[in-house]
A and B are shown apart, each in its own frame.
Chain A
Amino acid sequence: MTASTSSSDTAFRVADRLARVPGPWDVYAVRTRRYEVHLVRGRVELVRGPIALEGYGIRLLRPRAETLGTGFQSSTDLSEEGIARVVADAETVARHSEFPAPKAELPSSGPAGPSLDIRDPALWDRPRETLDRYVAALVAAFEGEKEVTASFGSIKVSLMETSIANSSGLHAAYSHTGVETEVAVQSFGGPEGAPPGEYWVTAAERRLEPEKLGSKVREWARIARDVRHAEPPPNGEMPVAFPPEVLSEILPAALSFKLSGQARLQDLAPTLGTNVGPPDLEIADDGLVPWATGSSPIDDEGVPQRRRQLIGRGEVAELVYDVLHGNALGARSSGSGFRSGRVASAWLSFTHQPNPSTTTLTLPGGGGGRDEEVVEAAGDGIWIQQIGWASPDPVSTAFGGEIRIGYRIRGGKIAEPIRGGTVGGYAMAPAGQPSLLRDISVVGSEPRLCGCLAMPTLLVSGVSVGGEGGPRPTASP
């Protein structure tokens, strides 16, 4: 991270043109250089880059009697005329918008936030060469695997400079990197005559780690081979082990809105003190986890990041707020004003207004031990390796998805692979109703960082699985 105040930072250049525009206003900008390599069956199909994108969004806050008019417009046009058009658009929109905040207090200049590891230095200094070497290492790693290939894949790296300025005098900027990986790992051949199996890997990270490629590809290949002889899962309620790779597809999307000032404003958030899990459940939202895609020294309104204890002793302890929702509800911003996704869509974040959002959900390691010990505690049940799409509903927190690949757990050991059928339920529910958080029976001891989540494997009891077999009545949630 750098806390530069270079006059070349996009937001500062735009802010210089807003001297005559009455406040409050803020400018948020992102300048991106992006490079991509796309592969088909081990050969390069397409080399992209640089893809140069520089854009900014201007937000105008216009206090009225008891509400605020919020005007927003974004653009890639940095000319004087272009900026003037954006301001005019935002003023027009502000006249028609209503937000129930009595005032607008944007953060003033101050500390730019803590230093953070969110920029891959090799990638930043030599993006194309670093990417090319990484892709070559990826291709080489697959060459060592018998009857396994990447049917297609892409590695996309983004070098981003984020800058924020406002009418209260804030000038802040930092730089960061993003890496998106998509690889379809295909297993084929052999005497069994089964159709090819696929393990479809997607990941959003901050850095390239070529030293880990060998072990990653071996693991991907093993799972892709298991897909070829996987059988449908059983039908019914059973203990299910959710590793962090799967939890990261469920919990951030299910809880980010539900535990926010935005949900509270719409009477959709649980009140503080509501019990949602066992008494030792502790979930925080930590915007300062090194190399996490959700980490940044400041949020997208310029408020320094921090750790927020969302759930403590099994009860809702804190909600996340941006400036406006905090103002509307008598709370302070928790440094949680964000504009969109962290990596995949971060370069277009300037096209969105801020809303309260979580960053990295953390749960400390428990007493359940390594993954093998969590499996042992399950006795009989299933281990989910990957679900198609959990599709969490932010209002109800319901989630559910097809089991792309998992494993039966028999006698406390990983047994045969399973595939097909669905698993689902509610991520969080009021007292008396089953949910993923409420029914945690074992918390593993080894948290892992996966996307917007850093948690250990969780064993959850009584999870509903829709597998093969005739229609089976299920208890109401």
Chain B
Amino acid sequence: MADLREHADLAARLLRRLAERASFAEAMLQRAAGETIHIDAKSVRASVSPRLAGLVVRAWAGTHWVEGAASSFESDAVARLGDEIAGGLAGAASTSAPPGESSTTVGERETQAHHPMRDVGSEDLIDIGRDLYRWATSVPGIRLAQVGVLWSDDERLYLNTAGANCRQLVSRPHAYAAPIATENGQSKVYPIFVGGIGGREIVDRLSEGDVATASRAALELLHAKAPPTGSMNVVLDPGTTATFVHESFGHGAEADQFVRDRSYLRPLLGQSVGPETLTIVDDGSISDGWGSVYFDDEGHPGQRTALIDRGRFVGALYDRESAAMFGAHATGNTRRSDFLGRTFVRMTNTLLEPQDWSVEELVEEARDGVMLEHWVSGVEDPQGGQMQIKVATGHRIENGRLAERVGSMALSGKVLHFLRDIRGIGRAQEFGMTPGFCGKGHSDMLPVGDGGPYLLSRAVIGPA
């Protein structure tokens, strides 16, 4: 893939032109490439990721930002974009600086994969997919499955009028297998997936044993009982804990919600919100983390930020504007979904750190309740502090032991009550990272990683 620096001069000229009207301007150039293979019972569908490329430019108009984008690096298209943004700046009080510190970072980072996916080739990708399909349907009783192998190379170049110049190429492979069990008109699916930053070595983490286990779980779901409902003790598996950390807690710690006065967490900064064993961090610098960034889209390096330290809510995630408003520094969490989307404060990899409880000890401590397994989705509520996490299955807990399997269910309740009621945090041996996609509201989807161990607390369980 050609280097985006070939368009750097064009973007720099545009920024110099805007600097005549605005105290600050920045540009993000992006180009994406990749491949996708989907295989189901009857078809092999392959596609090459869109050859999408373009740039977005933002300038400070004195009281607000003005922004435009174009899906072309042609000089005429970029000049037209400059005209439109300059028109939006006309009459603005442009001599005042925008809030917050402008990045002056200069750097270049590329994913160093052992086996880059771009070198694998379509035929080998299909072979990987066929293996996944074969593994899924080799379990007696499973005739159907949907599987896929995907990879993307996301190249971004950030420039601003303060001197920042950051280029990054992030390679993200992803693979999934979704065995489907059917019986008497019922269909149950049990998808599993892997993802990260790197190369084929990430895809290879999805093993034959993992896929076969998923197939057996899909079969068990056909006869799973309905879950109990109501308020009860709950043990979350690592993926469900990770979803809680991201959706239920993390979104409230995004400081653009502080600016909107839309976070139930903001008044609690500096206060204790959970047991001393509870630590939650966001870390965009994990080398193979699915949600990692080398530089964010304001030119700040990805970094580790403590959110809860030994039970105390100590930090939030900031962009330049929210950092200025709350006396903090930007934390490398300003992200655009792509050159078509705006910046928001976003998580990268958000983790609840493990402690020392075994699964058996957590179940015994719970005594009665339910274990939630295999997360499906989660929804944030940064204003109200409510939680909603949906899982595909779980087990009843009776007399301190795991009992019968139950089907899909949803966890709800208040996040602060859930944190307060944490009675045990699992150990590192069962810690798991989950690759996912997150929207800010209902749009601007981007890759995020979440992680956690088993966790015991109390919540409301309902149908899903």
Residues in chain A within 8 A of chain B (CB atoms): 36, 38, 40-41, 43-55, 57, 70-77, 82, 85-86, 89-90, 92-93, 96-100, 151-152, 180, 182, 184, 186, 195-198, 200, 202, 227, 232, 235-236, 265-268, 270, 274, 328, 344, 347-348, 350-351, 353, 388-389, 391, 393, 395-396, 398-402, 404, 419-425, 429-430, 433, 464-477
Contacts and interface: CB of A to CB of B under 8 A. Distances in A.
A408 to B, nearest CB: 16
Contacts of A268: 144, 180, 182, 187
Interface residues of B, number: 88
B250 interface: no
Q: Which 7 A-B pairs have the closest CB atoms?
A: A466-B462, A400-B464, A422-B462, A430-B185, A402-B388, A424-B463, A75-B51
Given A93-B46, A470-B230, A182 B377 contact: no
A55 B259 CA distance: 36
Interface of B: 40-48, 50-54, 56, 61, 63-72, 77, 80-81, 84, 88, 122-123, 126, 143-144, 146, 180, 182, 184-189, 225-232, 259-262, 264, 340, 342, 368-370, 376-377, 379, 381, 383-384, 386-388, 390, 407-410, 412-414, 441-443, 460-464
A468 B182 contact: no
A50 B262 contact: no
Nearest to A99: B43
Nearest to B264: A195
Contacts of B189: 393, 395-396
A72 to B, nearest CB: 5
A465 B462 contact: yes
Contacts of B462: 400, 421-424, 464-467
18 contacts: A48-B69, A51-B56, A57-B50, A71-B46, A76-B72, A92-B48, A99-B45, A196-B383, A227-B384, A266-B180, A267-B144, A400-B409, A465-B229, A466-B229, A466-B230, A466-B412, A468-B460, A473-B228
B185 A265 contact: no
Contacts of B188: 395-396
A402 B379 CA distance: 9
Contacts of B43: 97-100, 265
Most buried by A among B53, B230, B232, B342: B230
Contact of A476 (B226, B228, B264): B226
A400 to B, nearest CB: 3
A163 to B, nearest CB: 16
Nearest to A153: B260
Given A46-B342, A466-B462, A93 B42 contact: no
Contact of B390 (A70, A99, A353, A400): A400
Contacts of A198: 262, 381, 383-384
A241 B260 CA distance: 33
Given A265-B43, A396-B188, A468-B460, A401 B388 contact: yes
B51 A151 contact: no
Given A48-B67, A430-B185, A401 B260 contact: no
B180 A45 contact: no
A152 B388 contact: no
Contacts of A45: 64-65
B52 A474 contact: no
Given A46-B67, A55-B71, A151-B383, A422 B226 contact: no
B69 A96 contact: no
A70 B180 CA distance: 25
Nearest to A263: B187
A40 to B, nearest CB: 6
A76 B52 contact: yes
Contacts of B409: 400, 466
Contact of A422 (B80, B368, B369, B464): B464
B416 to A, nearest CB: 11
B88 A400 contact: no
Contact of A389 (B42, B72, B122, B379): B379
Contacts of B441: 182, 200, 202
A117 to B, nearest CB: 25
